[in-house]
């Protein structure tokens, strides 16, 4: 893919996102294909997720190596807070995952792909292998 072409579409996608218009409305105004606009938007989103996942995987792998964490087979998930009646934590309270001596806090709205890669690394698997 030509870099200039990708940059052209990146600018269009950013403009569209800022505009508040639907993809159809924006495409009509700009005289571009709605389908192509949506494809590029998806392409850039996927690329961002992959880059974020790769960076998170590398950071977790380095942190685990520095701490000497051993891979684990089972992970116990426990709410971080309980109310007076012993009810589960509120929805906005993070869930904490403990892998040996590594603590991972998962907040509402997390990216499940990134979390899956992090868990793979902490369990000693190759990231992304099912």
> What was the pLDDT predicted at 61?
58
* Nearest in space to 51 (alpha carbons), one of 125, 10, 111: 111
| pLDDT of amino acid 64 | 59
Verdict on whether the full-model pTM lies above 0.85: no
| pLDDT per residue as tens digits for the range 68-115 | 555 444 455 554 455 555 555 455 677 777 777 778 888 777 777 777
Per-residue model confidence as pLDDT tens digits over 9-21: 999 999 999 999 9
Question: Does residue 30 fall inside a structural domain?
Answer: yes
Count of domains observed in the chain: 1
Residue 130: inside a domain, yes or no? no
66 found inside a domain:
yes
Q: Which residues pair with 99 in a beta bridge?
A: 102
Asked if residue 99 lies in contact with residue 72, where contact means CB atoms within 8 angstroms, the answer is yes
For the stretch 44-75, pLDDT in tens is 888 877 777 666 666 665 555 555 555 444 45
Interatomic CA distance for residues 60 and 37, integer angstroms: 34
Domain membership of residue 89 as a residue range: 3-122
Residue 127 forms part of a structural domain: no
Residue 129, domain member (yes or no): no
Cβ pair 94, 105 in contact under 8 A: yes
């Amino acid at each position: 893919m030509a870099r200039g072409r990708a940059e052209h579409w990146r600018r269009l996608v950013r403009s569209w996102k800022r505009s508040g218009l639907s993809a159809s409305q924006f495409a009509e105004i700009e005289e571009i294909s709605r389908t192509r606009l949506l494809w590029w938007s998806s392409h850039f989103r996927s690329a961002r997720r992959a880059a974020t996942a790769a960076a998170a995987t590398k950071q977790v792998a380095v942190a685990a190596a520095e701490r000497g964490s051993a891979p684990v087979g089972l992970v116990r998930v426990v709410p971080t807070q309980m109310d007076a009646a012993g009810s589960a934590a509120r929805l906005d309270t993070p869930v904490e995952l403990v892998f040996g001596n590594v603590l991972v806090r998962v907040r509402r709205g997390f990216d499940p792909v990134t979390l899956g890669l992090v868990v793979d690394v902490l369990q000693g698997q190759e990231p992304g292998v099912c």
